[in-house]
Amino acid sequence: MQAVLLGPPGAGKGTQAERLCQAHSLLHLSTGDLLRGAVTAGTDLGVEAKGFMDRGELVPDSLVLALLEERLAKKTSDEGFLLDGFPRNVSQAEALAAKIGDDTIDHVVYLKLDDDQILQRLLKRGRKDDTEEVILNRLSVYRAETEPLVAYYRERGLIRDVDALGTVEEVHKRLLDSITTGGAASC
């Protein structure tokens, strides 16, 4: 299976991606994790990416694509994967389609959460890039750049809507239902 997990910051993408990857033996590909790894390792790419991440802005496509390609090159050809945090804009989605083929994505799961809940969850999370100012910036970047992907993938018949409100277990179960039945989950 080749799948994408979409949703606003704070929707629980990282947690749900890990659970889903365990359940389906998928490779979890998180561009946020790859970028944080590059920052920690102090690579040139990490140094360049850091400022964008600290401000809650998107890291330039060329850097993210380079990192993802490097990681994809290491995976075996029959290994399924779940992309978490990528694509983040339409041009990344187009680059992905060009790289792995237009019709090789099986599902795009869209974790839905309303604005109040997003803010509450992010403020509670307390990650280094989760100050109020950065959170608001990440939200506006999400609306402008990433949300259009929902329409992009919906037009292609790939979107599975999943309500992100509830416990980790509840959301995990909805997510599993949505990809195994192939239809939209409760929302």
- Residue 92: other Cβ atoms inside 10 A: 21
- Binders of ligand AMP among residues 101 to 160 (CB under 6 A) are 138
- Binders of ligand AMP among residues 73 to 102 (CB under 6 A) are 85-86, 88, 92
**What is the nearest approach in angstroms of ligand AMP to the Cβ of residue 19?**
16
Selected binder of ligand AMP within 24, 37, 52, 80 (CB under 6 A): 52
Q: Count of alpha carbons within 13 Å of 50, Cβ hemisphere only?
A: 13
**What is the nearest approach in angstroms of ligand AMP to the Cβ of residue 142?**
9
Catalytic residue flag (residue 138): yes
Q: Which two tokens stand for residue 177?
A: 């239902």
Number of residues that bind ligand AMP (CB under 6 A): 16
- Amino acid, single-letter form, for residue 85: G
Catalytic residue flag (residue 36): no
Is 8 a binding residue for ligand AMP by CB under 6 A? The answer is no
Residues 6 or more apart in contact with residue 108 via CB below 8 angstroms: 3, 4, 5, 6, 153, 158, 159, 160
Catalytic residue flag (residue 19): no
Is 35 a binding residue for ligand AMP by CB under 6 A? The answer is yes
Residues 6 or more apart in contact with residue 14 via CB below 8 angstroms: 30, 32, 33, 84, 85
Catalytic residue flag (residue 127): yes
Spatial CA neighbour of 115 closest among 4, 5, 10: 10
Is 46 a binding residue for ligand AMP by CB under 6 A? The answer is no
Q: Which two tokens stand for residue 170?
A: 């509840």
- Residue 49: other Cβ atoms inside 10 A: 21
Give the interface with ligand AMP as residue ranges (CB under 6 A): 9, 31-32, 35, 52-53, 56-59, 64, 85-86, 88, 92, 138
Residues catalogued as catalytic: 13, 88, 125, 127, 138
